[in-house]
Amino acid sequence: MTMDGAVVLPGTTLGAEWVDDVLLAGPAGDICFRLPDPVDREKLRRLVRDRQTELAQSGFRPGGAVVLRLPPSMAFVTHLLAVWRSGGQAILLDHRLTDYEVRRAIERLVPQVVVSPRRLAPAGLRTFVEVDTDLASYSGHPAGTTHAVVQLSSGSTGPSKVIGRTADDLVEEVRRYTQIDGVPQRGERLILLPSMVHVLGLVGGLLYGLHAGVELVPPARMTGDAIVQAIGSATTPATVLGVPFHIGLLASVQDPPWLPQFKRMTTGGELVPAAVWQSFEDKYGVPLGNMYGMTEVGVIGTDLYGEHRPAIRPAPGIEVRAIDGELQVSRPESPYLGLSDPTRWSGGWLHTRDAGVVDPETGLVSIKGRLDSQVSIGGLKVDLTEVESTLTSLPGVESAVVVFDGAITAYVQLNTPRASATLDADLAQRLAPYKRPRTLHVLDQLPRTTTGKLVRDLPTLRKAAS
């Protein structure tokens, strides 16, 4: 162990000092978080050192794994950095998972220590909470792999996959962000909406913000008014980072104030319908940027100025190709733990299972939706993404999921009361008969993952409709 407490692990490409060099370096007085009280870099470093001591006292050793089952909080941030700084692997479990799901993950991944809230996190719409933690010793085993972080995929299309990323991989992605035109710069603010347990909030928000000297500002509550208040709380430029679900929150604000410091909003996750992004830009007068990525590899491409919508430009150092209509991303090794599946990774290429094309002249990547969205109806090809996009363009439709369940089936959430018959009538004017859903379910709330993505898993949708 070095004098400052950062462990260097023999045989690794990048020892744990990367946390100091890449994330915690900088002037002591720099503000890292505003919650709303400021947390400067010196205070953050002190808290991380304290967490390292607590982890060691609970049985954690360099080379071991720690499960973090914490809501967005300083406890999450400081425990995460402490695990890495101590030479360990952080297994991130969303605090909203059930006890059964957490127990299964722990039994499979065998951590040395499990960190969870001492009491249930406060209910409501708070985005960043204060929690007391409970550290429970679980085993004396070292981590099963040398990955710095282990995450679960979003689970929007089926069971979650276990994904590992090395410290080198995380550092490479953080530095990749610094080369993307339009990301927040030192002295600016990032209004952080997505969970830091998942890749967009973790790397695009927390890690990049710490590295670049960007002030991270979670709004007090997950409401449109609170997000607007966070933007207007200072005069420095502010970028909002979120997913399409958060656009709806901002769109719900009636007559928002003039916000000259509002620079842009950047969204990850599913594609944003044209009517939604146009309405957002008209209302706030700032560009809605788009980011495409995966838990397995992080950011793949961006269009932060909205210049190429719906296409994106590959991020620096990322190679994307289209084979038989599927987008594939260069990655030297499989990111999946305990899974050997050549349909997901083979020969140095990650199979995204997203349909798309790469323009040979410009290099721009157009994403056409999920690869399994192409179905055959009576010998005629139907793109379910087109049906879904048409549905969401109808007046009163908040969101929709269209799947093939023996026939085209649509699940719809409304923001204005409408009868199913009128939806069918509107679709009849816009889609050929063979493209229209045979069954249309109107739900009070469409199922979403913990990251806000719409769930496309058939059993889950059927259960919600029943």
State the Cα–Cα distance between residues 259 and 233, nearest whole angstrom. Answer: 10
Q: Give the CA distances from residue 203 to residues 74, 170, 458, in Å, rounded to whole numbers and listed in that order.
A: 16, 7, 30
Assign 139 to helix, strand or coil.
coil
CB-side neighbour CA atoms (13 Å) of 110: 8
Token representation of residue 442: 């109107």
The pair of three-digit structure tokens given for residue 98, joined into one six-digit string: 């059930």
As a whole number of angstroms, the distance between CA 91 and CA 102 comes to 11
User: What are the residues whose beta carbons fall under 8 Å from the beta carbon of 422, sequence distance 6 or more?
Assistant: none
What distance in Å separates the CA atoms of residue 191 and residue 215, rounded to the nearest whole number? 9
Q: With beta carbons less than 8 A apart as the criterion, state whether 319 and 329 touch.
A: yes
- Dump strand ranges (E) for 220-348: 238-242, 262-267, 288-294, 298-303, 313-314, 320-323, 326-330, 345-346
Q: Do domains 18-153 and 378-465 have the same CATH topology?
A: no
Torsion angle of C-alpha atoms 51, 56, 60, 65, degrees rounded to 10:
30
Assess contact for 59 and 22: CB atoms under 8 A. Answer: no
Q: Are 272 and 244 in contact (CB under 8 A)?
A: yes
Q: How far is CA 260 from CA 187, 194, 248, 456, in A?
A: 16, 23, 21, 38
Judge if the upstream peptide bond of residue 310 is cis by omega within 30 degrees of 0: yes
State how far the Cα of 16 lies from the Cα of 75, in Å rounded to an integer.
Answer: 20
Among residues 291, 358, 373, 289, which one has the least CA distance to residue 328? 358
For tokens 């950047």, the residue is: 266
From the list 4, 28, 32, the residue with the least C-alpha distance to 16 is 4
Output the tens digit of pLDDT for each of the chain's 466 residues: 343 666 554 434 346 789 999 999 999 999 999 998 999 999 999 999 999 999 999 999 999 999 999 999 999 999 999 999 999 999 999 887 878 778 888 888 889 999 999 887 665 677 888 899 999 999 888 888 889 999 977 554 445 688 999 999 999 999 999 999 999 999 999 999 998 988 999 999 999 999 999 999 999 999 999 999 999 999 999 999 998 889 988 988 989 999 999 999 999 877 777 778 888 899 999 999 999 999 999 999 999 999 998 899 999 999 999 999 899 999 999 999 877 778 889 999 999 988 899 999 999 999 887 777 778 786 677 888 888 888 988 888 888 899 888 889 999 998 888 888 888 898 988 888 888 899 999 999 999 876 677 888 889 999 998 8
Q: ∠ at Cα 267 (262, 272), nearest 5°? A: 115
368 φ/ψ angles, rounded to the nearest 5 degrees: -105, 10
CB 12 within 8 A of CB 146: yes
Assigned CATH topology for domain 18-153: Rossmann fold (3.40.50)
List beta partners, residue 163.
Answer: 151, 336
CATH class of the domain defined by 169-318: alpha beta
The domain locations on the chain are 18-153, 169-318, 378-465
Q: Encoding tokens for residue 310?
A: 């719906």
Rounded Cα gap, residues 363 and 304, in angstroms: 16
Cβ atoms of residues 29 and 42 within 8 Å = yes
pLDDT at 128: 86
- What would the 3-class secondary structure string for 244-278 be? HHHHHHHHCCCCCCCCCCEEEEEECCCCCCHHHHH
Q: What pLDDT sits at residue 450?
A: 67
State the pLDDT at residue 15.
62
Model pLDDT, residue 11: 38
DSSP conformational letter for 455: P
CA distance linking residue 306 with residue 309, whole number of Å: 6
Using N-to-C axis directions, what is the helix angle for 244-251 and 274-284, rounded to 10°?
50
What global pTM score does this model have?
0.83
Tokens of 248: 């709806």
* Architecture of the domain made up of 378-465: 2-Layer Sandwich (3.30)
Rg from Cα positions in the chain: 22
